[in-house]
Amino acid sequence: MADPRELDVVLMGVTGFTGGLTADYLARHAPSGLRWGLAGRDPGRLTAVRDRLAAVDPALSGLPLLHADATDPASLADLASRTRVVITTVGPYLLHGEALVAACAAAGTDYVDLTGEPEFVDRSYVAHHATAQRTGARLVHSCGFDSIPYDLGAYFTVPLLPSGVPITLRGVVRVGGSVSGGTLHSFVTAASRPRQAKQAARDRRAAEPRPEGRSSRARAGRPHRDPLLGYWLIPLPTIDPLVVARSGAALDGYGPEFRYSHFAGTRTLRWAAGGSAAAVGIGVAAQVRPLRSLLIGRVQAGEGPDEARRGRSWFTVDLVAEAGGRTVHTRVSGGDPGYGETAKMLAESAMCLALDENPAIAGQVTTAVAMGDALLARLQAAGLRFEVVPAAA
């Protein structure tokens, strides 16, 4: 039967910095048979992006351009009805994201984004998970540096452990790179709403079923020095441990009891203390409107570093797992985390949903649950490294 949708993938947010990089990645790496297009509210700016892409590949001069406005539900419903997968980089998602999730859930259209905003993800689950299950849509949040390296890093690590026993896993991230303007805006917006975030989390817990006979949780860590890695560890209260724990709850292979803790790693105690103080300071400042505006104004959404600086950027995520008396150390690593690798992860996630054989599942799910082996293979082929670190002699 002919596919009733005219397109496989549509990217919304291409006039922003990360959205533009995602479009560049698709222009260079999408297979020739992929039917993809660009969406936004300004035809002139969309045409300018298409002209830039056509300079890379002249065949893209006819790339479809679709009208879509985050404030116009009718335009989003039309967009969702015309494609199999929607990618969006339009944040902060708490302000601009819900209507597109609703449109995709209603149309049975797969959806991927870059959000690191727990409140948005929790509200999305409560409002749209059941609809997506009914229509067959896969709603997959956090398909960039939040939270693929940790989610798929855990997915890569767990099969190396004894089966059927409790697993304790810690992830330790180190980066050399810039924070995007969109990421900063999303973080500050989320940090300014602690009461609303707690209520959204409570609402989700009340609606979300728990696995029978098993448990999977994110566990708050404490600052300490890691004896295996040699780093000082700072707990990171990001969305990432929540995502990993949700994969652990959904996948039986994570054992009867799965616990995940999430940290930033530094080589010296001084940097650890400074990092903790900075995080607390930003969180406090986000509660005060003038300070929040000052923080957001430091880096504009849609801005980012030049290609040379991105080329010098890097990240590593060390994952240390303990189960049944055995310790396994793995590592995920790559280049520029906030921009280049994020664009790669987002684009490959969308192509994975559109083109690959994936688990038969629907609803709001994590990357490990929705795509698992297929996405892991794609990212490895695209240059992200997932490796086992040999034990020290």
Three-state SS letters, 16-45: CHHHHHHHHHHHHHCCCCCCEEEEECCHHH
The pLDDT of residue 221: 86
Local structure of 279: helix, strand or coil: helix
Apex 383 CA angle, 149 and 183, nearest 5: 45
My answer on whether omega of the bond before 147 falls inside 30° of 0, hence cis, is: yes
The DSSP letter of residue 147 is B
At residue 386, does pLDDT exceed 80? yes
The pLDDT of residue 308: 73
Cβ within 8 Å of residue 78, ≥6 positions away? 66, 67, 68
The pLDDT of residue 154: 98
d(Cα 12, Cα 103) in Å, to the nearest integer? 13
Give me the percent of the chain exceeding a pLDDT of 70: 86
d(Cα 124, Cα 101) in Å, to the nearest integer? 7
At residue 300, does pLDDT exceed 90? no
Q: Which residues of 25-57 are buried (b: 16+ CB within 10 A; e: fewer)?
A: bbbeebeeeebbbbbbbeeeebeebbeebeeee
d(Cα 115, Cα 190) in Å, to the nearest integer? 11
**173, 316 Cβ separation under 8 angstroms:** yes
Give the full edge-to-edge strand order of the sheet including 363-364: 65-67, 36-40, 7-12, 83-88, 110-113, 138-140, 363-364
d(Cα 39, Cα 37) in Å, to the nearest integer? 7
The pLDDT of residue 290: 61
Burial category of 81 from C-beta neighbours within 10 Å (exposed 0-12, middle 13-18, buried 19 and up): middle
pLDDT (tens digit per residue) in 188-236: 776 778 899 999 999 999 999 999 999 999 998 899 999 999 999 999 8
- The lowest-confidence range among 201-210, 242-251, 283-292 is 283-292
Closest C-alpha among 46, 39, 36 to residue 9: 36
The pLDDT of residue 294: 57
The pLDDT of residue 296: 55
d(Cα 188, Cα 300) in Å, to the nearest integer? 13
The pLDDT of residue 283: 54
The pLDDT of residue 164: 95
The pLDDT of residue 91: 87
Local structure of 161: helix, strand or coil: coil
Closest C-alpha among 90, 89, 295, 264 to residue 188: 295
How many Cα neighbours within 13 Å face the side chain of 51? 6
pLDDT band at 332 (very low <50, low <70, confident <90, very high): very high
Return the CATH architecture of domain 7-144+341-377.
Answer: 3-Layer(aba) Sandwich (3.40)
pLDDT (tens digit per residue) in 14-58: 999 999 999 999 999 999 999 999 999 999 999 999 999 999 899
Apex 39 CA angle, 33 and 42, nearest 5: 140
Average pLDDT over residues 230-246: 94
Domain ranges of the chain: 7-144+341-377, 148-337
The pLDDT of residue 53: 97
What is the β-pairing status of strands 232-235 and 257-266? antiparallel
pTM, two decimals, is 0.92
Average pLDDT over residues 286-308: 59
Closest C-alpha among 389, 181, 190 to residue 283: 190
pLDDT (tens digit per residue) in 154-184: 999 999 999 999 999 999 999 987 656 656 6
The pLDDT of residue 57: 93
Cβ within 8 Å of residue 273, ≥6 positions away? none
Average pLDDT, the chain: 90
pLDDT band at 1 (very low <50, low <70, confident <90, very high): very low
d(Cα 386, Cα 375) in Å, to the nearest integer? 12
At residue 149, does pLDDT exceed 70? yes
